[in-house]
Structure 1
């Protein structure tokens, strides 16, 4: 059975994007970017909601060709293109870069994918991750908290029907006051 991970950069008040889908507050430093790259290398299948897919696919297919791209950014772009992806959306028609589109019941499909053999999966995007969270499908959370309050936007956390108890696995501090807490779901 595959594990499902959910991790994002989060403002101190719990948002993954500020109003208007503004991500400018969460610029990673080199150490944090390298940490994210190491995390992404371990993932065998990315699961994206439409909005996050549009953000990622607007930059990373050619991120290694951007002026001033660091070695870590070059590797991130290559890894992103090479890793299989599923985009959950009923509003887009085509996807590229080792990706397939799924427009049915997201929770049923994620449940099916988890039951398969294979390596870990990462879910991304507030709406899709929220559905997986409510369904109890997420095995591990990586909450990378930035010292900024954005006051609203897309929340990291979803409204839940019941509590989800977590075990703290790791805490790490990065430059600029960024703190990563990794938790596993207590089953």
Structure 2
């Protein structure tokens, strides 16, 4: 059975994006934080995306390694991003590339099926898609990189739940700029 990990940057007041899908509050991550995210992505065998995050990632990372100011870590991230199998859950995206397929049907059923397969970890990104997986009890780990900023509203990292989810803290780490990483595993 695969492990499903939901990790994103968020504001101290719990948002992955401010109003209007604005993610400018996070600015470019420190080299140290970027390296941490790279290592997490390299450990995944499959990445699951909601439409909005897919559009953001696919607008840059296919050629991110060809940018004149790309760091070695960014070059490695772009190559890994292209090579890692990806699934986009959307009823409006019709064309994908870079080792990606689209699922238009029941996201929870497909994620449940993918989790039941043998294989390494898979990550899920996009607050709406992850929220559906969260409500279905499918997420095994939460990785939260909290930035020291309050934006007052937007897209929340956590969705409303019908039941409590008990977690075990597995890591805390501080990065430059006051970013605090916390990782939790779901207690089963």
Mark yes or no: TM-score above 0.5.
yes
Match of 2:83 in 1: 82
Match of 2:17 in 1: 17
Q: Secondary structure at the residue paired with 1:149?
A: coil
Separation in 1, partners of 2:87, 2:185: 23
Decide which moves more: 139-148 or 17-26.
Answer: 17-26
Matches within 5 A, 1:35-54: 35-54=36-55
Separation in 2, partners of 1:25, 1:170: 24
TM-score, normalization by structure 1 = 0.99
Question: Are 2:147 and 1:150 aligned?
Answer: no
Match of 1:113 in 2: 114
Long gaps (5+) in structure 1: none
Name the Cα RMSD after superposition: 0.6
Deviation at 1:26, TM superposition (A): 1.1
Match of 2:140 in 1: 139
Separation in 2, partners of 1:186, 1:26: 30
Aligned length: 187
Long gaps (5+) in structure 2: none
Deviation at 1:178, TM superposition (A): 0.4
Report runs of 4+ in structure 1 exceeding 6 Å deviation: none
TM-score, normalization by structure 2 = 0.98
Matches within 5 A, 1:157-176: 157-176=158-177
Q: Secondary structure at the residue paired with 1:53?
A: helix
